[in-house]
Amino acid sequence: MPGILYQLVVAAAICALSSGSIAVASGLNATDSFLVCLVGAGVPPRLLQTPASPSYSTTLLSSVRNLRYVTSDIQRPVAIVAATEPAHAQAAVRCGRRHGVRVRARSGGHDYEGLSYASLDPGERFAVLDLAAFRDVRVDSARAEAWAGSGATLGEVYYAVAAASRVLAFPAGICPTVGVGGHLSGGGFGTLMRRYGLAADNVIDAVLVDADGRLLNRTTMGEDLFWAIRGGGGESFGVVLSWKLRLVRVPETVTVFTVRRSINQSASHLITKWQAIAPALPSDLILRVAVRSQHARFEALFLGRCSRLLEHMRVHFPDLGVTQSDCEEISWIQSTVYFAFYSSSKPLELLLDRSGETPRYVKAKSDYVQEPIPRHVWERTWSWLEKPEAGLLILDPYGGRMGSISPSATPFPHRKGNLYNLQYYSYWFENGTAALEKRMSWVRGLYEEMEPYVSKNPRTGYVNYRDLDLGTNELEDNVTSYARARIWGEKYFKGNFERLAAVKAMADPNDFFRNEQSIPPLPAAKGWGSI
């Protein structure tokens, strides 16, 4: 046990004996007082780490997915609280409020802008509340429901669901190491979305620690707060400890294929046609595209057999030229391995590997496309994709169930009228400003070039593809400025942003849960109709 923690335990014991509440021991700074408070509240010291602890860096880096936020000039947490019980998370919030230490929840650590473990404000004192230990997944296959801890990864959820039933699934994202905590907080889409909607659309209850440190469920938090936490983005409303999921039906056998078409195999023509075709396909079929270098890779999941899939492709997209030999008939759980690791024969246990891919630098941006982008634009795009510093484009088609859910049913507003989500994604391994600047300007440059062809007023994006270029918060009278936050907020949430801010004003009026893109409390003067 590091020396400071030993002293803290002693101090906490004394405090607890003397008063029953943890008064600030004289001579302790805010961080130490916070730690004393936690220990006094029953958090075992071994779950607390400070920069002085030998394992601090290892723990901090354990789920960092973007090395851009691992630099000396970025503010690190004053402590990591590796909670193992709800009471620890409640204590983190209560002690944090009392002693001026903010709390950033971290589930899978995949935030594109590192917001679960780093702060851009050099003056901010915050602790990471690490939820990796909250990863139980309990499946009730008879009711087609499951409870999943926020620290579970998508891979762990998929694995547990498939272990309980061959005909149940959960509709969420593709990367198995993504955490359920952040993913469901921001929406969550993947290969089943055209049939079943977002992950957040299939959440039916949740356990949340609110800004007063209370443990709430759907009934006790109320429908407004329950609405906000299913898509309003992580961090703003409290810490979700677990989610109750509605599982969905899949056939025992599904079909996948991947076909690659290069520039000289009409890739531009195929992408151009794809834009109108893919969003209109039957909802039990998804055909997504990744475009990089000199080719487009078309990847499909069909909830049925190959023969029927080929019929659909012949009717809707004969130009793609998919044949029987492209098909693989597998189980749904194998399809999750297929999309994550490009092979259906790899072991399912890969889904349980939390360590994930080699650490890398990442920058991404996103758009929604509402009218097909003209072919000449795609032809021009190859000159971007062929550059040495190029990243890739990922096109995820909506339509189906995504288009039939009301844009105000959850905070996620990108429903009817959106053909597809267009993601600009770059990753690299070299450290240094030269590589950083080249990669960043590639992503930003192509994004700028696409502006005439994507959604407008506002130009929208997906909150789970966090992009701080869209704007960051500023304070006004010690709370996050609503006027300023609208700049980025309406891009992610459109008309739902004001309602999110109204819920925030109700649930966390003092703005304890705050980060660079957290929802601001709606100023009282503005009011909001139904709340």
Ligand X SMILES: *[C@@H]1O[C@H](CO)[C@@H](O)[C@H](O)[C@H]1NC(C)=O
Ligand Y SMILES: Cc1cc2nc3c(=O)[nH]c(=O)nc-3n(C[C@H](O)[C@H](O)[C@H](O)COP(=O)(O)OP(=O)(O)OC[C@H]3O[C@@H](n4cnc5c(N)ncnc54)[C@H](O)[C@@H]3O)c2cc1C
Among residues 205 and 212, whose Cβ is nearest to ligand X? 205
**29 contacts ligand X (rule: CB under 6 A):** yes
For ligand Y, the binding residue among 88, 99, 102, 110 (CB under 6 A) is 110
Judged by CB under 6 A, which of 38, 67, 92, 385 binds ligand X?
67
- To the nearest whole angstrom, how small is the minimum distance from the Cβ of residue 23 to ligand X? 17
94 binds ligand Y (CB under 6 A): no
CB of 155 to ligand Y, least distance (A): 11
Q: Which of 464, 473, 497, 286 is nearest to 366 (CA)?
A: 464
CA dist 217 and 334 (Å) reads 33
520 binds ligand Y, rule: CB under 6 A = no
485 binds, among ligand Y, ligand X, none (CB under 5 to 8 A by kind): none
- Contacts to ligand Y from residues 224-263, by CB under 6 A: 234-235, 239-240
Smallest separation (angstroms) from ligand Y to the CB of 321? 27
Q: Nearest approach, Cβ of 174 to ligand Y (angstroms)?
A: 4
Residue 433 is a binding residue for ligand X (CB under 6 A): no
Interface with ligand Y, residue 312, by CB under 6 A: no
How far is it, in rounded angstroms, from Cα 6 to Cα 4?
A: 5
Q: Which residues pair with 475 in a beta bridge?
A: 480
Q: Quick one: which segment of 163-171, 190-198, 217-225, 387-395 binds ligand X (CB under 6 A)?
A: 217-225
271 binds ligand Y (CB under 6 A): no
- List 5, 38, 95, 175, residue binding ligand Y (CB under 6 A): 175
Residue 115 touches which of ligand X, ligand Y, none (Cβ within 5-8 Å per kind)? ligand Y
Does position 510 bind ligand X by CB under 6 A? no
Compose the 460-479 pattern: x for residues touching ligand Y by CB under 6 A, - for all others.
----x---------------
CB of residue 438 vs ligand Y: minimum separation in angstroms?
Answer: 21
Q: Exactly one of 54, 122, 223, 264 binds ligand X (CB under 6 A); which one?
A: 264
Q: Give the residue, chosen from 18, 19, 55, 262, that forms a contact with ligand X under the rule CB under 6 A.
A: 262
Instruction: Tokens for 346, please give them.
Output: 């790899």
Residue 104 binds which of ligand X, ligand Y, none (CB < 5-8 A, kind-dependent): ligand Y
Cα three-residue angle 300-307-163, rounded to 5 degrees: 60
Instruction: List the one residue out of 221, 214, 222 whose CA is nearest residue 87.
Output: 214
Question: At 479, is the secondary structure helix, strand, or coil?
Answer: strand
Choices 112-120, 213-221, 281-289, 312-320 (CB under 6 A): range interacting with ligand X? 213-221
Surface-to-core class of residue 273, CB atoms within 10 Å of its CB (0-12 exposed, 13-18 middle, 19+ buried): middle
Question: Using the rule CB under 6 A, is 217 a contact of ligand X?
Answer: yes
Q: Collapsing DSSP states into helix, strand and coil, what is residue 426?
A: strand
In the complex with ligand X, the residue whose CB is nearer, 219 or 457, is 219
Interaction of residue 72 with ligand X, rule CB under 6 A: yes
| Residue 31 binds to ligand X (criterion: CB under 6 A) | yes
Could you tell which of ligand Y, ligand X, none binds residue 411, using a CB distance below 5 to 8 A set by kind?
Answer: none
Q: Count the Cβ atoms, other than its own, within 10 Å of residue 345.
A: 10
DSSP 227-282: HHTTTS-SSSS-EEEEEEEE-EE--S-EEEEEEEEEGGGTHHHHHHHHHHHGGGS-
Q: How far apart are CA 138 and CA 205, in angstroms?
A: 14
Q: Return the residue of 85, 121, 145, 205 that touches ligand X, per CB under 6 A.
A: 205
Query: By three-state DSSP, how is residue 86 classified?
Result: helix
List the Cα angle 202/471/439 in 5-degree steps: 90
Q: Are strands 126-130 and 79-81 parallel, antiparallel or unpaired?
A: parallel
Q: Who's near 300: CB < 8 A, 6+ residues apart?
A: 255, 256, 257, 258, 285, 286, 287, 288, 309, 322
- Asked if residue 519 lies in contact with residue 499, where contact means CB atoms within 8 angstroms, the answer is no
Residue of 383, 457, 478, 530 that binds ligand X (CB under 6 A):
478
Residue 524 DSSP one-character state: G
Q: Which stretch binds ligand Y (CB under 6 A): 27-35, 41-49, 179-187, 519-527?
A: 179-187
Tokens 């049939």, residue located: 195
Q: Tell me whether residue 466 or residue 499 sits nearer to ligand Y (CB atom).
A: 466
CB of 409: closest distance to ligand X in angstroms? 21
Burial of residue 342, with CB atoms counted within 10 A of its CB: 0-12 exposed, 13-18 middle, 19 or more buried: exposed
Question: 199-236 as b/e, with b when 16 or more CB fall inside 10 Å?
Answer: bbbbbebbbbbbbebebbebeebeebbbbbbbbbbbbb
Residue whose Cβ sits closest to ligand Y: 234
Helix (H, G, I), strand (E, B) or coil at 490: helix
Question: How far apart are the C-alpha atoms of 80 and 47, rounded to whole Å?
Answer: 8
The window from 1-9, 23-31, 177-185, 218-226 that contacts ligand Y (CB under 6 A) reads 177-185
Nearer to ligand X, 205 or 469 (CB): 205
Q: How far is the CB of 293 from ligand X (least distance, A)?
A: 8
Where on the phi/psi map is residue 293: left (φ > 0), alpha (ψ -120 to 50), or beta? left
The terminus-to-terminus CA distance of the chain in angstroms comes to 48
Structure letter (DSSP) for residue 202: G
| Contact residues for ligand Y, defined by CB under 6 A | 65, 104-112, 115-116, 131, 150, 173-175, 178-179, 181-183, 185-190, 234-235, 239-240, 464, 515
Residue ranges that bind ligand X, judged by CB under 6 A: 4, 29, 31-32, 67, 70-72, 78, 100, 205, 217, 219-220, 262, 264, 294, 431, 478
